Structure 1
Amino acid sequence: MCELSIQITGAGGNILAEKSSDDFVNLVFNGEYHPGDSIALTAKPRSFLVIRLDDGMGPSFVYMKQAKYVFPIPFGEKRRPYSPRAFSGQIHLLKARMATDAEISSEKNLARNEYDCHSNACCFPHASANVETRGESVFTARNAIDGNTENHCHGDWPYESWGINCDPDAEIQIDFGRAVQIRKIVLFTRADFPHDNWWTRAELSFSDGTSETVSMTKTDRPQTFSFSKDRITWVKLGRLIKSENDPSPFPALTQIQVFGTEASK
């Protein structure tokens, strides 16, 4: 029985291309995507995969909590946070494979998933937020875990970010889908100065009920905070305090990275 498959489906539910295997799949789709098309990734529940669902994007190490994940091909306004090369053209190469034991056990950025989306409840990590600026795709939570750290502007790719719509109560949460061990968290705040403001302080709270207050500075560089946290299923960034010395009302987050390993036994 094949445990891994990729299927491309049209808006009417018709199968456009598919391929299955025990441990790795390379699927070539000769055709152009159209609105309503989607990619279905199927794997054994509670498995670790390395996926690359478009040759115009990078690979992501993911945890499949359930058997099937459906990724809608972005069109129109939803295309804006993706590279123009992604999901475009007449031929596409999609890849998925089972992760190796070494990949599973090694320390990595546990928060990266280029293929996250709002409806994701299966393919982890997953980012969600209580506010996203004007509901625009270039300011959604998934942008903060897509691996892109370019933070010198805002708007369409490569300047996508998580925008908080000037809401002081904004929060973003990263769910891992299983328990992990965290060693450090790295934040890239958006640095489109003078358009942007910046945060002087924030709170990182964890699924075990603990929290850490961190001090932040005005910079385009990564800001690193080290912790020792085990058996954590999610982390939340909130209680964001913007600088009162900057007239801009627009602080934002370009990327959050969470480095660690699988939880201790």
Structure 2
Amino acid sequence: MHKITMKVMDKDYKVKAEMGGYNDVCLHYQENFQEGDMIILECNKNPSYLVIQLDETIGECIVYLATNIMAFEVPLRGNKKSYAEVSFLGKAHSLYARVASNKEIRQYRNLALNKYDHKSNFNCYPHVEIVNENVINSSKSQYITNSNSEERIELNIRFGRKVSINKLVFHKQSNSIQDSFWLDSFLKFSDNSKIKCDLVKTEVGQVLTFQQREVEWIRLCKFIKKNDDFHAFDISNIEVYGVSVI
């Protein structure tokens, strides 16, 4: 059995609330979150697949916890760019975590979805990061950067273990001039193979299918931005479909 513990800690690591359970846990926190508060999730077994919900307005998702502990700083004020204004507010919060079922773990799904990803996360997967540019937010796969110089931007999606994937869906805003970002772009896999990405400016999700591959990460490479453009790197969402390799 999995022993799971959920805690709320302040910026000085003082425990403000705590609840534990076997295979599932629910913590009802009846206070306002303060700046610097953290939600800590501990599990006696690692790695583990868990279904977590840290805020009712955001909902649950399946994550792969590579170590025994996950730390999530509660996003308030300026750290809240990808969440609703009402998220994490008020005095009534229901936080829960449970062990994912075998059916949930093995199902074909979007393996890039981690609603609680953040820039300091390196053990709760999937995790997204942007290289060679300022990371604004990675928690909901919303990638917004600004620069007026020529840059080469790479976007990494790490799964923390082997997964078998065969499809990506790109969602990209179409109300800005972004064609220069897609020059010579390609998708690289952890097995060192790569394929070309020919994407266009559209509000409709663009599907990229390929032969099934077992990988631990993927990298979107060579997003090139020219000097004469000043726009956001405005991929609004990336979905990666496949199954976990058990």
Q: Quick check: TM above 0.5?
A: yes
- SS, match of residue 215 in structure 1: coil
The verdict on how the C-alpha distance between 1:95 and 1:226 changes in structure 2, with shifts beyond 3 A counting, is: same
Contact 2:31–2:92 (CA under 8 A) maintained in structure 1 = yes
Contact 1:107–1:259 (CA under 8 A) maintained in structure 2 = yes
The within-5 A match list for 1:20-169 is 20-43=20-43, 44-133=45-134, 139-144=136-141, 160-163=142-145, 165=147, 168-169=151-152
- SS, match of residue 139 in structure 2: helix
Contact 1:140–1:163 (CA under 8 A) maintained in structure 2 = no
Contact 2:183–2:222 (CA under 8 A) maintained in structure 1 = no
Given the alignment, which residue of 143, 166, 178 partners 1:197?
A: 178
TM-score under structure 2 normalisation?
0.90
TM-score under structure 1 normalisation?
0.84
Write the deviation string for residues 183-204 of structure 1: whole angstroms up to 9, x where unpaired.
101111223x1x4424355211
- Of stretches 246-255 and 68-77 in structure 1, the one that deviates more from structure 2 is 246-255
Corresponding residue number in structure 1 for 2:161: 178
- Structure 2, unmatched stretches of 5+, are none
- Of stretches 197-206 and 209-218 in structure 1, the one that deviates more from structure 2 is 197-206
Matched, 1:261 2:233: no
Matched, 1:213 2:196: yes
Note the C-alpha offset of 1:132: 4.1
- Of stretches 228-237 and 119-128 in structure 1, the one that deviates more from structure 2 is 228-237
Q: Calculate percent identity across the aligned residue pairs.
A: 29
Note the C-alpha offset of 1:142: 3.5
- Structure 1, unmatched stretches of 5+, are 145-159
Contact 1:142–1:162 (CA under 8 A) maintained in structure 2 = no
Note the C-alpha offset of 1:2: 5.6
Partners of 2:184 and 2:199 lie apart in 1 by 5
Partners of 2:47 and 2:229 lie apart in 1 by 47
Which stretches of structure 1, 4 residues or longer, exceed 6 Å deviation after superposition? none
Note the C-alpha offset of 1:76: 2.7
Counting matched residue pairs gives 242
Given the alignment, which residue of 202, 214, 227 partners 1:231?
A: 214
Partners of 2:10 and 2:151 lie apart in 1 by 41
The verdict on how the C-alpha distance between 1:56 and 1:249 changes in structure 2, with shifts beyond 3 A counting, is: closer
The verdict on how the C-alpha distance between 1:132 and 1:86 changes in structure 2, with shifts beyond 3 A counting, is: farther
The verdict on how the C-alpha distance between 1:222 and 1:164 changes in structure 2, with shifts beyond 3 A counting, is: farther
Contact 2:117–2:138 (CA under 8 A) maintained in structure 1 = no
- SS, match of residue 258 in structure 1: strand
Contact 1:3–1:22 (CA under 8 A) maintained in structure 2 = yes
C-alpha RMSD of matched pairs (Å): 2.3
Partners of 1:9 and 1:106 lie apart in 2 by 34
- SS, match of residue 104 in structure 1: helix
Note the C-alpha offset of 1:8: 0.5
